[in-house]
Chains A and B, each alone.
Chain A
């Protein structure tokens, strides 16, 4: 998109004597990438670059250069109960990429994000106002193996209250950009579910801005896809913002599921929690979680914590887990992190089996419990229930696959 690349390009070059003079600068040792809409500002990813070191680059190379999108991906928007959204509170529009509020939440932070921006044509914008009682469902269905780009903006006004669920299904090769911006004193939850069909590829970037005094509960549930990589960059728009990021992933043999969260405390007295949990099943199941948290000198009174737990169900899986915490302010409430990779071991399995519980059921019980603890913390009954149902559906799928294998053997 020629017009949009005309936008101001401001590659942050920090003055070593005053590294925070430019707001867009990322004075982070874990993330030195520029912020730009221009693809040319980013080198083509290689495994030598920190941001891409865990990613199977050869499997997603088509996402690194501007492409012609198929435009076939469909988006349906309604309430979760099937009724239409209330147009007085939920404004849905399609704009040319770069118009309206699209492109206003920060800037792309890696090459794939810049490619998405420059390959796409339009943005779907959902503007939320007032207290919205019914959860909103944005249903995205993949268009098959042709590469497509999709850009979504969720913008909540000051004092808005809303729950938004974004679901991805079908077979897809999708470059996706999501911008989430919440107004002052708003209380919003956004839940992104990936239930892609086998063979799908999904490379997404999310840019998130949490308003002053606002709370955002941001959940990502990735239960399927050949390669799914979601990079999330966040900052605060004023003091006393509250960000709660929750992630659940289930990785099958051969799949690569990657989540990268970049939480930036740039305002005073804000709170952030990042909790990601994943289960890996089978040979060459690969998960990556990289959690960056940066507490800038402008953010006294910060309270931040990030955690990642992985449960390896069967041998042959790889879980990469990397928390990075940079604290540049001594006057904070807390900054913590924890990371673990554990194994569902033979002794646990034997114990459950010795009580009459078959192996597949035992695994389900353990995985359900592992995620259940996290889902219970959500506190929004509809979302908790929805997520548990999604997880159960995923677990049931595993079972029927196992059953299929048995039948095929015979």
Chain B
């Protein structure tokens, strides 16, 4: 029985600086995720799904106006991004950043050391890394290449899932992990996520625009996110409904439709 953890987002408002001035993107987000649960967060483009992901992880571009995000009772929004990661939060990015000059091996080992608070034993670590890469069908030579440097879109996503499997977070936010993947890569990446969940009892927030990935990673709960907050919550059948009908009814044509759904 895996340990039980809770991530509670309470009335979260957050803004971003734009050329036109400060703009509030998140407008009262409320969500509770427990260990072992998979939540799909779906919604139209520009609804603020990615902003939610990056705000939780602590990207400096987004500023929290009010609200909290409690991971086992600790408000991570007050912490630097590295401390949030140490609390057990992981963000798999839509566009993983290239860090030239820093090898994957060195990066992974440093991250693992920081997260665990002690260096992993060299032999078991090398074995674990090798096996994890093999399962994700990653060429061993990726380990000696610079972080994400020159990786294709698919390779970057595999590298994100590799980190997920090795760092063993309590909660993972997967930001459009399915974008840019072909069918085979989608399957391999999804298997990695499912494996991580099986092994660690991970709670997952799956941010996605399409239902494609949900065929591989089965959500327990599906949410619709529009205009900066959750407007509808349902079971897996909601994803099928959205697949058929699209997000039209959630598009911000007027405040009326939004409040009607909320």
Contacts and interface: CB of A to CB of B under 8 A. Distances in A.
Interface of A: 346-348, 350-359, 361, 365-366, 368-370, 372-373
Contact of B106 (A346, A353, A354, A365): A365
Contacts of A358: 80, 82, 114
Interface string B91-102: 101001111111
Contacts of A356: 82, 85-86, 111, 114-115, 167
Interface string B15-53: 000000000000000000000000000000000000000
B101 A373 contact: yes
B111 A357 contact: yes
Given A350-B60, A354-B57, A354-B91, A365 B107 contact: yes
20 contacts: A348-B97, A348-B99, A351-B147, A352-B102, A354-B58, A354-B81, A354-B84, A354-B85, A354-B91, A354-B93, A355-B107, A355-B111, A355-B115, A356-B82, A356-B111, A359-B82, A366-B101, A368-B102, A369-B146, A370-B101
A361 B109 CA distance: 13
B58 A361 contact: no
Contacts of A351: 93, 96-97, 99, 147
Contacts of B110: 357, 361, 365
A396 B102 CA distance: 18
Contacts of B106: 365, 369
A356 to B, nearest CB: 4
B163 interface: yes
B232 to A, nearest CB: 29
A135 B184 CA distance: 55
B103 interface: yes
Q: Is the interface of B mostly helix, strand, loop or mixed?
A: mixed
Central interface residue in A346, A350, A372, by most chain B CB within 10 Å:
A350
A353 B85 contact: yes
Q: Which of A348, A356, A369 has the most CB of B within 10 A?
A: A356
Nearest to B108: A355
Choose among B90, B101, B110 the residue with the greatest number of A CB atoms under 10 Å from its CB.
B101
B59 interface: yes
A148 to B, nearest CB: 38
Given A354-B57, A365-B110, A369-B106, 17 more contacts: A348-B97, A350-B59, A350-B81, A351-B93, A351-B97, A354-B58, A354-B81, A354-B93, A355-B111, A356-B114, A357-B114, A361-B110, A365-B102, A366-B99, A368-B102, A369-B100, A369-B101
B169 to A, nearest CB: 9
> Which of B81, B93, B110 has the most C-beta atoms of chain A within 10 angstroms of its own C-beta?
B81
A346 B60 contact: yes
Interface residues of B, number: 31
A361 B114 contact: yes
Interface in B56-101: 57-60, 80-82, 84-86, 90-91, 93, 96-101
Given A357-B82, A357-B114, A352 B107 contact: yes
A259 B195 CA distance: 53
A388 to B, nearest CB: 13
Contacts of B147: 351
Contact of A366 (B82, B102, B111): B102
Contacts of A348: 97-99
Contacts of B82: 353-359
Nearest 10 pairs between A and B by C-beta?
A: A369-B101, A356-B85, A351-B97, A353-B81, A355-B111, A356-B114, A369-B102, A356-B115, A353-B82, A370-B101
A352 B99 contact: yes
A288 to B, nearest CB: 22
A373 to B, nearest CB: 6
Contacts of A350: 57-60, 81, 97
B128 to A, nearest CB: 16
A138 B40 CA distance: 65
Contacts of B167: 355-356
Contacts of B99: 348, 351-352, 366, 369
Nearest to B116: A356
Contacts of A366: 99, 101-102
Contacts of B100: 369-370
A250 B147 CA distance: 23
A132 B111 CA distance: 43
Nearest to B95: A347
A385 B60 CA distance: 37
Contacts of B81: 350, 353-354
A372 B80 CA distance: 28
A373 B106 CA distance: 13
Nearest to B57: A354
A352 B86 CA distance: 12
A356 B86 CA distance: 6
Contacts of B102: 352, 365-366, 368-369
Contacts of B58: 350, 353-354
B91 to A, nearest CB: 5
B35 to A, nearest CB: 19
Contacts of A368: 102
Interface in B101-133: 101-103, 106-107, 110-111, 114-115
A355 B93 contact: no
A355 B85 contact: yes
Contacts of A346: 60
A348 B8 CA distance: 28
Interface in B154-177: 163, 167
A360 B58 CA distance: 17
